[in-house]
Structure 1
Protein backbone atom coordinates (compact mmCIF):
# COMPACT_ATOMS: atom_id res chain seq x y z
CA UNK A 1 0.00 0.00 0.00
CA UNK A 2 1.41 3.38 -1.05
CA UNK A 3 0.72 6.22 1.35
CA UNK A 4 0.21 9.81 0.18
CA UNK A 5 1.22 12.16 3.03
CA UNK A 6 -0.54 15.13 1.41
CA UNK A 7 -3.83 13.23 1.08
CA UNK A 8 -3.56 11.96 4.65
CA UNK A 9 -2.86 15.43 6.03
CA UNK A 10 -5.83 17.06 4.27
CA UNK A 11 -7.69 16.60 7.56
CA UNK A 12 -4.66 16.97 9.81
CA UNK A 13 -6.53 18.87 12.51
CA UNK A 14 -9.16 16.17 12.95
CA UNK A 15 -6.58 13.39 12.73
CA UNK A 16 -4.30 15.13 15.24
CA UNK A 17 -6.92 15.60 17.94
CA UNK A 18 -7.19 11.94 19.09
CA UNK A 19 -3.39 11.64 18.97
CA UNK A 20 -3.10 14.58 21.36
CA UNK A 21 -5.93 13.24 23.53
CA UNK A 22 -3.99 9.99 23.89
CA UNK A 23 -0.73 11.81 24.57
CA UNK A 24 -2.32 13.90 27.33
CA UNK A 25 -3.69 10.81 29.11
CA UNK A 26 -0.23 9.32 29.58
CA UNK A 27 0.77 9.99 33.21
CA UNK A 28 3.75 12.19 33.95
CA UNK A 29 6.91 10.14 34.18
CA UNK A 30 10.43 10.37 32.80
CA UNK A 31 10.87 7.93 29.90
CA UNK A 32 14.35 7.67 28.44
CA UNK A 33 13.50 5.58 25.38
CA UNK A 34 10.28 6.10 23.40
CA UNK A 35 9.04 4.35 20.28
CA UNK A 36 6.30 5.84 18.11
CA UNK A 37 4.88 2.94 16.09
CA UNK A 38 3.35 3.99 12.81
CA UNK A 39 4.80 7.46 13.17
CA UNK A 40 3.43 8.54 9.81
CA UNK A 41 4.31 12.06 8.69
CA UNK A 42 5.92 12.91 12.03
CA UNK A 43 3.46 15.56 13.22
CA UNK A 44 2.62 13.52 16.34
CA UNK A 45 6.19 12.29 16.84
CA UNK A 46 7.24 15.91 17.03
CA UNK A 47 4.79 16.49 19.91
CA UNK A 48 6.11 13.44 21.74
CA UNK A 49 9.62 14.85 21.42
CA UNK A 50 8.44 18.21 22.75
CA UNK A 51 6.78 16.65 25.79
CA UNK A 52 9.85 14.59 26.68
CA UNK A 53 12.82 16.57 25.31
CA UNK A 54 15.37 14.52 27.27
CA UNK A 55 14.19 11.19 25.86
CA UNK A 56 15.42 9.41 22.76
CA UNK A 57 12.43 9.15 20.42
CA UNK A 58 12.35 6.66 17.56
CA UNK A 59 9.72 6.91 14.84
CA UNK A 60 8.96 3.51 13.33
CA UNK A 61 7.16 3.67 10.00
CA UNK A 62 6.62 1.24 7.14
CA UNK A 63 5.98 3.79 4.38
CA UNK A 64 9.02 5.32 2.71
CA UNK A 65 6.89 8.32 1.68
CA UNK A 66 5.80 8.91 5.27
CA UNK A 67 9.36 8.49 6.61
CA UNK A 68 10.56 11.15 4.17
CA UNK A 69 7.82 13.51 5.37
CA UNK A 70 8.55 12.64 9.01
CA UNK A 71 12.23 13.43 8.72
CA UNK A 72 11.31 16.92 7.55
CA UNK A 73 8.69 17.45 10.26
CA UNK A 74 10.76 16.02 13.12
CA UNK A 75 14.47 16.04 12.18
CA UNK A 76 15.63 15.54 15.78
CA UNK A 77 13.86 12.15 15.96
CA UNK A 78 15.51 8.86 15.06
CA UNK A 79 13.65 7.31 12.13
CA UNK A 80 13.39 3.61 11.35
CA UNK A 81 11.85 2.53 8.05
CA UNK A 82 10.50 -0.94 8.76
CA UNK A 83 7.33 -3.02 8.63
CA UNK A 84 5.46 -2.69 11.94
CA UNK A 85 4.51 -6.34 11.74
CA UNK A 86 8.19 -7.29 11.72
CA UNK A 87 9.29 -4.87 14.43
CA UNK A 88 11.74 -6.65 16.71
CA UNK A 89 13.58 -4.01 18.78
CA UNK A 90 16.91 -4.90 20.35
CA UNK A 91 15.86 -3.33 23.65
CA UNK A 92 12.63 -2.63 25.56
CA UNK A 93 11.16 0.87 25.71
CA UNK A 94 9.91 3.02 28.57
CA UNK A 95 7.00 4.15 26.39
CA UNK A 96 5.54 2.60 23.27
CA UNK A 97 3.07 4.97 21.68
CA UNK A 98 0.95 4.18 18.62
CA UNK A 99 -1.67 6.41 17.06
CA UNK A 100 -3.97 5.09 14.30
CA UNK A 101 -1.59 2.37 13.12
CA UNK A 102 -2.11 -1.00 14.79
CA UNK A 103 -5.47 -1.67 13.13
CA UNK A 104 -3.45 -2.37 9.98
CA UNK A 105 -1.85 -5.39 11.67
CA UNK A 106 -3.55 -8.80 12.09
CA UNK A 107 -3.89 -11.12 15.08
CA UNK A 108 -4.32 -8.63 17.89
CA UNK A 109 -4.61 -11.49 20.38
CA UNK A 110 -0.89 -12.09 19.89
CA UNK A 111 0.16 -8.56 18.91
CA UNK A 112 -0.82 -6.67 22.03
CA UNK A 113 0.79 -8.99 24.61
CA UNK A 114 3.89 -8.99 22.38
CA UNK A 115 3.99 -5.20 22.43
CA UNK A 116 3.59 -5.13 26.20
CA UNK A 117 6.56 -7.47 26.50
CA UNK A 118 8.62 -4.81 24.71
CA UNK A 119 7.84 -2.30 27.49
CA UNK A 120 10.12 -2.13 30.52
CA UNK A 121 8.51 -2.96 33.90
CA UNK A 122 6.74 0.19 35.06
CA UNK A 123 6.69 1.58 31.51
CA UNK A 124 3.67 2.47 29.40
CA UNK A 125 1.89 1.21 26.31
CA UNK A 126 -0.39 3.88 24.79
CA UNK A 127 -2.52 3.06 21.74
CA UNK A 128 -5.28 4.69 19.72
CA UNK A 129 -7.07 2.92 16.89
CA UNK A 130 -10.12 3.89 14.83
CA UNK A 131 -13.19 1.76 15.52
CA UNK A 132 -15.41 3.17 12.83
CA UNK A 133 -15.41 0.20 10.47
CA UNK A 134 -19.16 -0.46 10.74
CA UNK A 135 -20.03 3.13 9.83
CA UNK A 136 -21.30 3.90 6.30
CA UNK A 137 -17.97 5.50 5.40
CA UNK A 138 -16.28 2.11 5.59
CA UNK A 139 -19.14 -0.32 4.93
CA UNK A 140 -19.81 1.37 1.59
CA UNK A 141 -16.24 0.71 0.46
CA UNK A 142 -16.93 -3.01 0.78
CA UNK A 143 -20.32 -2.63 -0.89
CA UNK A 144 -18.69 -0.88 -3.83
CA UNK A 145 -16.01 -3.56 -4.05
CA UNK A 146 -18.57 -6.35 -4.27
CA UNK A 147 -20.84 -4.64 -6.80
CA UNK A 148 -18.79 -3.81 -9.85
CA UNK A 149 -16.65 -5.26 -12.63
CA UNK A 150 -13.62 -4.97 -10.32
CA UNK A 151 -14.99 -7.47 -7.78
CA UNK A 152 -12.54 -10.28 -8.54
CA UNK A 153 -9.62 -7.93 -7.97
CA UNK A 154 -10.70 -6.39 -4.67
CA UNK A 155 -13.13 -8.72 -2.90
CA UNK A 156 -10.28 -10.25 -0.85
CA UNK A 157 -9.95 -6.87 0.84
CA UNK A 158 -13.49 -7.00 2.24
CA UNK A 159 -12.80 -8.40 5.68
CA UNK A 160 -14.33 -8.19 9.17
CA UNK A 161 -13.52 -5.07 11.24
CA UNK A 162 -9.86 -5.23 12.32
CA UNK A 163 -10.41 -3.71 15.79
CA UNK A 164 -12.16 -5.66 18.56
CA UNK A 165 -14.38 -4.40 21.36
CA UNK A 166 -12.72 -2.65 24.33
CA UNK A 167 -13.18 -5.64 26.66
CA UNK A 168 -11.10 -7.79 24.30
CA UNK A 169 -8.05 -5.57 24.84
CA UNK A 170 -8.69 -5.28 28.57
CA UNK A 171 -8.63 -9.08 28.89
CA UNK A 172 -5.35 -9.22 26.95
CA UNK A 173 -3.51 -6.47 28.80
CA UNK A 174 -4.90 -6.57 32.36
CA UNK A 175 -2.86 -9.64 33.44
CA UNK A 176 0.35 -7.81 32.40
CA UNK A 177 -0.64 -4.40 33.77
CA UNK A 178 -0.61 -2.69 37.13
CA UNK A 179 -2.81 0.13 35.80
CA UNK A 180 -4.95 0.06 32.66
CA UNK A 181 -7.29 2.67 31.21
CA UNK A 182 -9.39 1.87 28.13
CA UNK A 183 -12.06 4.16 26.68
CA UNK A 184 -13.81 5.16 23.49
CA UNK A 185 -14.61 8.60 22.09
CA UNK A 186 -16.86 9.43 19.15
CA UNK A 187 -15.85 12.72 17.57
CA UNK A 188 -18.47 14.62 15.59
CA UNK A 189 -16.18 15.91 12.87
CA UNK A 190 -17.42 18.89 10.89
CA UNK A 191 -15.91 18.64 7.41
CA UNK A 192 -15.83 21.15 4.57
CA UNK A 193 -15.47 20.73 0.84
CA UNK A 194 -16.88 18.51 -1.87
CA UNK A 195 -17.59 14.94 -0.73
CA UNK A 196 -15.16 15.20 2.20
CA UNK A 197 -15.86 11.74 3.62
CA UNK A 198 -14.62 10.22 0.36
CA UNK A 199 -11.54 12.41 0.60
CA UNK A 200 -11.06 11.30 4.22
CA UNK A 201 -11.16 7.58 3.45
CA UNK A 202 -9.02 8.13 0.35
CA UNK A 203 -6.23 9.03 2.76
CA UNK A 204 -6.57 5.72 4.64
CA UNK A 205 -8.94 2.75 4.18
CA UNK A 206 -10.00 3.41 0.59
CA UNK A 207 -6.35 3.50 -0.49
CA UNK A 208 -6.10 -0.29 -0.08
CA UNK A 209 -8.66 -0.74 -2.84
CA UNK A 210 -7.46 2.00 -5.17
CA UNK A 211 -3.92 0.63 -5.05
CA UNK A 212 -5.12 -2.65 -6.57
CA UNK A 213 -6.82 -0.95 -9.52
CA UNK A 214 -5.50 1.26 -12.31
CA UNK A 215 -6.60 3.70 -14.98
CA UNK A 216 -10.29 4.00 -15.83
CA UNK A 217 -11.24 1.14 -13.51
CA UNK A 218 -9.63 2.88 -10.55
CA UNK A 219 -11.41 6.13 -11.37
CA UNK A 220 -14.73 4.32 -11.82
CA UNK A 221 -14.40 2.59 -8.44
CA UNK A 222 -13.65 5.88 -6.70
CA UNK A 223 -16.60 7.56 -8.44
CA UNK A 224 -19.01 4.73 -7.56
CA UNK A 225 -17.97 4.84 -3.92
CA UNK A 226 -18.13 8.63 -3.98
CA UNK A 227 -21.77 8.57 -5.08
CA UNK A 228 -22.72 6.13 -2.32
CA UNK A 229 -20.90 7.93 0.47
CA UNK A 230 -22.15 11.38 -0.57
CA UNK A 231 -25.74 10.12 -0.12
CA UNK A 232 -24.87 8.63 3.28
CA UNK A 233 -23.33 11.90 4.50
CA UNK A 234 -25.33 14.77 2.96
CA UNK A 235 -24.38 18.38 3.60
CA UNK A 236 -26.33 20.32 6.21
CA UNK A 237 -27.96 23.70 5.72
CA UNK A 238 -24.60 25.40 6.29
CA UNK A 239 -22.95 23.35 3.57
CA UNK A 240 -20.97 21.26 6.06
CA UNK A 241 -20.70 17.48 6.33
CA UNK A 242 -21.05 15.92 9.78
CA UNK A 243 -18.87 12.82 10.07
CA UNK A 244 -19.12 10.93 13.40
CA UNK A 245 -15.96 8.93 14.01
CA UNK A 246 -15.38 6.48 16.88
CA UNK A 247 -11.91 5.77 18.25
CA UNK A 248 -10.60 3.32 20.86
CA UNK A 249 -7.89 4.35 23.35
CA UNK A 250 -5.80 2.44 25.86
CA UNK A 251 -3.01 3.33 28.28
CA UNK A 252 -1.51 0.43 30.21
CA UNK A 253 1.38 0.38 32.67
CA UNK A 254 3.36 -2.83 32.72
CA UNK A 255 3.71 -4.63 36.02
CA UNK A 256 7.05 -4.12 37.74
Structure 2
Protein backbone atom coordinates (compact mmCIF):
# COMPACT_ATOMS: atom_id res chain seq x y z
CA UNK A 1 0.00 0.00 0.00
CA UNK A 2 1.18 3.53 -0.75
CA UNK A 3 0.32 6.82 0.88
CA UNK A 4 -3.01 8.03 -0.55
CA UNK A 5 -1.92 11.66 -1.07
CA UNK A 6 1.79 11.05 -1.71
CA UNK A 7 1.96 7.85 -3.72
CA UNK A 8 4.95 9.04 -5.74
CA UNK A 9 7.11 10.68 -3.06
CA UNK A 10 6.89 11.80 0.54
CA UNK A 11 9.37 14.55 1.35
CA UNK A 12 10.40 15.27 4.93
CA UNK A 13 11.46 18.88 5.44
CA UNK A 14 13.16 20.32 8.52
CA UNK A 15 13.45 24.08 9.02
CA UNK A 16 14.28 26.37 11.95
CA UNK A 17 11.29 27.39 14.05
CA UNK A 18 11.98 31.00 12.99
CA UNK A 19 11.58 30.15 9.28
CA UNK A 20 8.30 31.23 7.66
CA UNK A 21 9.38 31.15 3.99
CA UNK A 22 10.56 27.62 3.18
CA UNK A 23 7.37 25.72 3.93
CA UNK A 24 5.00 27.81 1.76
CA UNK A 25 7.49 28.03 -1.10
CA UNK A 26 8.16 24.28 -1.16
CA UNK A 27 4.47 23.48 -0.93
CA UNK A 28 3.81 25.69 -3.96
CA UNK A 29 6.29 23.62 -6.01
CA UNK A 30 4.79 20.17 -5.34
CA UNK A 31 4.08 18.00 -8.38
CA UNK A 32 0.97 15.85 -8.28
CA UNK A 33 1.36 12.83 -6.01
CA UNK A 34 4.16 14.38 -3.93
CA UNK A 35 3.63 15.55 -0.36
CA UNK A 36 5.80 17.55 2.05
CA UNK A 37 5.96 16.93 5.80
CA UNK A 38 7.62 19.61 7.90
CA UNK A 39 9.40 19.41 11.25
CA UNK A 40 10.91 22.35 13.09
CA UNK A 41 14.28 22.93 14.72
CA UNK A 42 13.41 24.84 17.87
CA UNK A 43 15.83 27.79 18.10
CA UNK A 44 15.81 31.25 19.64
CA UNK A 45 15.72 34.36 17.49
CA UNK A 46 19.21 35.37 18.61
CA UNK A 47 21.14 38.30 17.23
CA UNK A 48 23.50 37.51 14.33
CA UNK A 49 25.28 40.86 14.23
CA UNK A 50 28.56 39.51 15.60
CA UNK A 51 30.46 36.23 15.86
CA UNK A 52 29.24 35.30 19.38
CA UNK A 53 25.63 35.82 18.34
CA UNK A 54 26.08 33.85 15.12
CA UNK A 55 27.71 31.08 17.15
CA UNK A 56 24.68 30.95 19.45
CA UNK A 57 22.41 30.54 16.44
CA UNK A 58 24.65 27.79 15.10
CA UNK A 59 24.65 25.96 18.44
CA UNK A 60 20.87 26.15 18.53
CA UNK A 61 20.63 24.70 15.04
CA UNK A 62 23.07 21.90 15.79
CA UNK A 63 21.26 20.95 18.99
CA UNK A 64 17.82 20.90 17.40
CA UNK A 65 18.41 19.53 13.91
CA UNK A 66 18.51 15.83 14.74
CA UNK A 67 15.36 15.94 16.91
CA UNK A 68 13.62 17.78 14.07
CA UNK A 69 14.67 15.11 11.59
CA UNK A 70 13.40 12.41 13.94
CA UNK A 71 10.09 14.26 14.21
CA UNK A 72 9.43 13.76 10.48
CA UNK A 73 10.79 10.23 10.07
CA UNK A 74 7.76 8.85 11.90
CA UNK A 75 5.70 9.36 8.73
CA UNK A 76 8.30 7.34 6.81
CA UNK A 77 9.32 9.94 4.21
CA UNK A 78 11.29 8.82 1.18
CA UNK A 79 13.86 11.59 1.63
CA UNK A 80 14.60 14.55 3.89
CA UNK A 81 15.41 18.15 2.98
CA UNK A 82 17.54 20.01 5.52
CA UNK A 83 16.14 23.52 5.10
CA UNK A 84 18.85 25.52 6.83
CA UNK A 85 21.91 27.14 5.26
CA UNK A 86 24.44 28.33 7.89
CA UNK A 87 25.35 24.83 9.07
CA UNK A 88 26.23 23.96 5.49
CA UNK A 89 28.76 26.78 5.12
CA UNK A 90 30.05 27.70 8.57
CA UNK A 91 32.98 25.28 8.77
CA UNK A 92 33.87 25.21 5.07
CA UNK A 93 33.72 22.59 2.31
CA UNK A 94 35.93 20.15 4.18
CA UNK A 95 33.34 19.61 6.89
CA UNK A 96 30.35 19.13 4.63
CA UNK A 97 30.76 15.38 4.12
CA UNK A 98 30.81 14.82 7.87
CA UNK A 99 27.72 16.98 8.38
CA UNK A 100 25.87 15.21 5.56
CA UNK A 101 26.72 11.77 6.95
CA UNK A 102 25.38 12.79 10.37
CA UNK A 103 22.13 14.03 8.80
CA UNK A 104 21.68 10.80 6.85
CA UNK A 105 22.22 8.78 10.01
CA UNK A 106 19.61 10.84 11.86
CA UNK A 107 17.24 10.30 8.92
CA UNK A 108 17.57 6.53 9.23
CA UNK A 109 19.71 6.22 6.11
CA UNK A 110 17.24 8.03 3.88
CA UNK A 111 18.50 10.34 1.11
CA UNK A 112 19.17 13.85 2.44
CA UNK A 113 19.19 17.08 0.44
CA UNK A 114 21.34 19.95 1.68
CA UNK A 115 22.09 23.29 0.06
CA UNK A 116 25.75 22.72 -0.96
CA UNK A 117 24.97 19.52 -2.88
CA UNK A 118 21.86 21.02 -4.47
CA UNK A 119 23.65 24.19 -5.55
CA UNK A 120 26.66 22.24 -6.88
CA UNK A 121 24.31 20.04 -8.93
CA UNK A 122 22.45 23.05 -10.32
CA UNK A 123 25.60 24.95 -11.25
CA UNK A 124 26.90 21.81 -12.92
CA UNK A 125 23.66 21.52 -14.89
CA UNK A 126 24.20 25.08 -16.12
CA UNK A 127 27.96 24.60 -16.56
CA UNK A 128 28.49 27.77 -14.51
CA UNK A 129 31.61 28.50 -12.47
CA UNK A 130 31.70 32.32 -12.36
CA UNK A 131 29.04 33.27 -9.85
CA UNK A 132 27.63 36.08 -7.73
CA UNK A 133 25.94 35.30 -4.42
CA UNK A 134 23.20 36.95 -2.35
CA UNK A 135 23.00 36.15 1.37
CA UNK A 136 20.65 37.41 4.08
CA UNK A 137 23.52 37.92 6.52
CA UNK A 138 25.80 40.56 7.94
CA UNK A 139 29.56 40.27 7.27
CA UNK A 140 30.09 37.60 9.96
CA UNK A 141 27.85 35.26 7.98
CA UNK A 142 28.90 36.50 4.55
CA UNK A 143 32.54 35.60 5.23
CA UNK A 144 31.73 31.93 5.79
CA UNK A 145 29.58 31.75 2.64
CA UNK A 146 32.32 33.42 0.61
CA UNK A 147 34.94 31.01 1.93
CA UNK A 148 32.73 28.04 1.17
CA UNK A 149 32.14 28.91 -2.49
CA UNK A 150 35.73 29.98 -3.11
CA UNK A 151 36.97 26.82 -1.39
CA UNK A 152 34.66 24.75 -3.57
CA UNK A 153 36.38 25.95 -6.73
CA UNK A 154 33.95 28.63 -7.89
CA UNK A 155 35.06 32.02 -9.11
CA UNK A 156 33.06 34.19 -6.70
CA UNK A 157 32.92 37.54 -8.46
CA UNK A 158 30.57 39.36 -6.08
CA UNK A 159 28.71 38.76 -2.85
CA UNK A 160 26.02 40.93 -1.31
CA UNK A 161 24.64 40.45 2.18
CA UNK A 162 21.22 41.85 3.02
CA UNK A 163 22.18 42.52 6.64
CA UNK A 164 19.39 40.80 8.56
CA UNK A 165 20.18 40.86 12.29
CA UNK A 166 18.39 37.66 13.39
CA UNK A 167 16.97 34.43 11.92
CA UNK A 168 13.34 35.58 12.01
CA UNK A 169 14.16 38.94 10.42
CA UNK A 170 15.45 37.14 7.33
CA UNK A 171 11.87 36.51 6.24
CA UNK A 172 11.29 40.29 6.17
CA UNK A 173 13.45 40.72 3.06
CA UNK A 174 11.14 42.19 0.44
CA UNK A 175 10.90 41.35 -3.25
CA UNK A 176 12.03 44.90 -4.01
CA UNK A 177 15.20 44.40 -1.96
CA UNK A 178 15.87 41.13 -3.75
CA UNK A 179 15.35 42.72 -7.16
CA UNK A 180 17.79 45.49 -6.26
CA UNK A 181 20.35 42.98 -4.94
CA UNK A 182 20.19 40.99 -8.19
CA UNK A 183 20.76 44.17 -10.18
CA UNK A 184 23.65 45.22 -7.93
CA UNK A 185 25.66 42.01 -8.28
CA UNK A 186 24.95 41.14 -11.90
CA UNK A 187 27.39 41.88 -14.70
CA UNK A 188 28.32 40.42 -18.06
CA UNK A 189 30.99 38.19 -16.53
CA UNK A 190 28.61 36.53 -14.04
CA UNK A 191 27.38 33.18 -15.37
CA UNK A 192 24.87 32.50 -12.58
CA UNK A 193 23.47 34.21 -9.50
CA UNK A 194 22.98 32.13 -6.35
CA UNK A 195 20.87 33.08 -3.32
CA UNK A 196 21.43 31.34 0.01
CA UNK A 197 19.22 31.41 3.09
CA UNK A 198 16.03 29.34 3.21
CA UNK A 199 14.06 32.00 5.10
CA UNK A 200 14.39 34.34 2.12
CA UNK A 201 11.31 34.07 -0.11
CA UNK A 202 13.06 34.43 -3.46
CA UNK A 203 11.49 31.77 -5.67
CA UNK A 204 9.27 34.16 -7.64
CA UNK A 205 11.88 36.92 -7.89
CA UNK A 206 14.50 34.48 -9.16
CA UNK A 207 12.17 33.21 -11.88
CA UNK A 208 11.37 36.75 -13.02
CA UNK A 209 15.04 37.80 -12.88
CA UNK A 210 16.06 34.94 -15.17
CA UNK A 211 13.66 36.28 -17.79
CA UNK A 212 15.21 39.74 -17.93
CA UNK A 213 18.83 38.74 -17.26
CA UNK A 214 18.97 35.74 -19.58
CA UNK A 215 21.02 33.69 -17.10
CA UNK A 216 20.35 31.29 -14.20
CA UNK A 217 19.20 32.83 -10.93
CA UNK A 218 19.17 30.05 -8.32
CA UNK A 219 16.97 30.55 -5.25
CA UNK A 220 17.80 28.43 -2.22
CA UNK A 221 14.37 26.88 -1.67
CA UNK A 222 13.89 26.17 -5.37
CA UNK A 223 17.24 24.42 -5.75
CA UNK A 224 16.70 22.31 -2.61
CA UNK A 225 13.32 21.08 -3.82
CA UNK A 226 14.56 20.50 -7.37
CA UNK A 227 17.45 18.45 -6.05
CA UNK A 228 15.23 16.36 -3.77
CA UNK A 229 12.75 15.66 -6.55
CA UNK A 230 15.33 14.75 -9.17
CA UNK A 231 17.42 12.61 -6.81
CA UNK A 232 14.32 10.61 -5.95
CA UNK A 233 12.97 9.91 -9.41
CA UNK A 234 10.51 12.80 -9.90
CA UNK A 235 11.40 14.38 -13.24
CA UNK A 236 8.22 16.42 -13.76
CA UNK A 237 8.75 19.94 -15.07
CA UNK A 238 7.33 22.44 -12.59
CA UNK A 239 6.62 25.81 -14.18
CA UNK A 240 6.55 29.22 -12.57
CA UNK A 241 9.76 28.89 -10.53
CA UNK A 242 12.45 29.37 -13.14
CA UNK A 243 14.39 27.26 -15.59
CA UNK A 244 15.81 24.82 -13.05
CA UNK A 245 12.49 23.18 -12.18
CA UNK A 246 11.01 23.75 -15.61
CA UNK A 247 13.80 22.39 -17.81
CA UNK A 248 16.37 20.41 -15.81
Question: TM-score, normalised on structure 2?
Answer: 0.37
Q: Which has the larger radius of gyration?
A: 1
Q: Per residue, is there more strand in 1 or in 2?
A: 1
